[in-house]
Amino acid sequence: MSSVPSGWRGCLLVILAGFVLLFGLPQVVSLYGVVQMTVFVAMAVFALSQGFIWGFGGIMSFGQSAFFGLGGYVYAVSVINMGDSTIPVLLAIAVPAAFAALLGYFMFFGRISDAYVGVITLTVTIILFNVVNSTSGDFYTIGQAALGGFNGMPNVPPLNVPGYPDAAFGPIDTWYFAMGALILVYILLRGILASRFGRVVVAIRENETRVQLLGYDARVYKLLVFTIGGGVAGLGGCIFTNWGAFISPTIFGLASAAQVLIFVLVGGLGTLVGPVLGAFGIEYLISIIGTQQTLNANLVLGAVLVAFVLLVPQGLVPVVWSGIGRLLPRRFAGTGEQTAEAQS
C-alpha cells in the first residue's frame, strides 16, 4: 500500500478545485442545489476523519460516527443554551476530540489489538445510539436543551456571525462555512502528513514494530492521530446539524458508521481526496435514488461497495491517479525520486 504520490503540486490542485467549488457553486446551481451540496460536504469532512485515521494512521475505527454524532449533539445542546454559535462550534470539535483522546488512551496504552479497536469503537457508537435514543422526556434536558430521545432535536439554531447571535447564517453562508471548513481540514491534514510527525504516523501504519525499535513511542502518535480524527469528525457533525437544523440518534447508528467506511473504501484508502470524492459520489447517488421508488438506497449502496471491493479494491483515486501516470510522460507523473524529495 503506497501513499498516493501527491506532492505539493497535487495538493495545490485540490485546494484550487476546492476554492472554485466554494465560490463557483452558488453562481451556477439553484439554492436547493447549494443546500444539497452542503450535506455532501458535511459527509466529506466526516469521511476525511475516517480516511485520515484509517488510511494513514492504520487505526481501524469502525465507529467514527460516535465522534460525528457527538459533534452534532454538542453543537445543538450548546448553541441552544448559549445563543451565539461561536463557542458551540469550537466545542463541537473539542469535545469529540477529548472523548477520542480518552477512548484512544485506553485502547492504545492498554495494548488492545487492531481488530479489537474496530470492535470497541463500533460498540461505543452503538452504546451512544442507545443512550441518546432513550432520552425522551423532560428529565433529559441539558440547560434549556431537551435531547428528545429517538425524536431528536428539531429547530437547532443556525450558525451566526461570531459575536452577533442575531446575524444568523442563511443557506449560502452555511455553504461557505461548510466548504471553507472542508478546505481547511484538507490543508491541515495534508500539512500534518507532510510534517515529520506525519511521516512517523505513516511509518507506524507500515510497520509499528520497526517504529518502536527506532525509539518512537507509537502509542503517543496513534493517540494524537485518533484525537485529531475525533475533532474533524465532530466538525463534520456540527456542519451536518446546521444543514438540517436537526439532529437525531440515527447519526450514531450502524448505517452512519458503515456509510463513512464505504466513502473511504470507494474513494481510496490511503488518500485524502479519495474519501472526499467518495462521499460526494455516494451521497449524490443516494440523492438520485431517493427521487425514485424502484430501487432501495441501501441495496444500491451495498452493491456499489461489493463491486468496488471486488473490482477496484484500491478505490477510485489511486486507480485514476496511476492511470494518469501511465498516460503522461514520466517526468510529469511523479516518479519515486520526486516523491522522496517532496516528502523528505
Interface with another protein (CB under 8 A): 1-3, 196, 199-200, 202-203, 205-207, 209-218, 335-340, 343-344
3-class SS of residue 111: coil
For 19, the enclosing helix (H) or strand (E) is helix 8-28
Residue among 194, 237, 297 at smallest CA distance from 64:
237
Instruction: Using CB atoms within 10 Å of the CB of residue 139, give its burial: 0 to 12 exposed, 13 to 18 middle, 19+ buried.
Output: exposed
67 or 321: CB nearest another protein: 321
198 or 234: CB nearest another protein: 198
The radius of gyration computed from the CA coordinates of the chain, to the nearest angstrom, equals: 20
- Alpha-carbon distance of 54 to 80, in angstroms, equals 34
286 or 319: CB nearest another protein: 319
- Alpha-carbon distance of 251 to 72, in angstroms, equals 9
Residue among 148, 169, 341, 178 at smallest CA distance from 249:
148
Q: What's the closest the beta carbon of residue 81 comes to another protein, in angstroms?
A: 44
Residue among 210, 204, 163 at smallest CA distance from 53:
204
Residue 233 Cα to chain centre, angstroms: 5
294 or 344: CB nearest another protein: 344
98 or 194: CB nearest another protein: 194
106 or 109: CB nearest another protein: 109
Q: What's the closest the beta carbon of residue 337 comes to another protein, in angstroms?
A: 4
Q: What's the closest the beta carbon of residue 333 comes to another protein, in angstroms?
A: 13
149 or 325: CB nearest another protein: 325
For 109, the enclosing helix (H) or strand (E) is helix 86-109
Residues written for the chain: 344
Residue 285, amino acid: L
Count of CB atoms within 10 A of residue 119's CB?
A: 14
Locate cell 454538542: which residue? 74
Name the DSSP letter for residue 214.
T
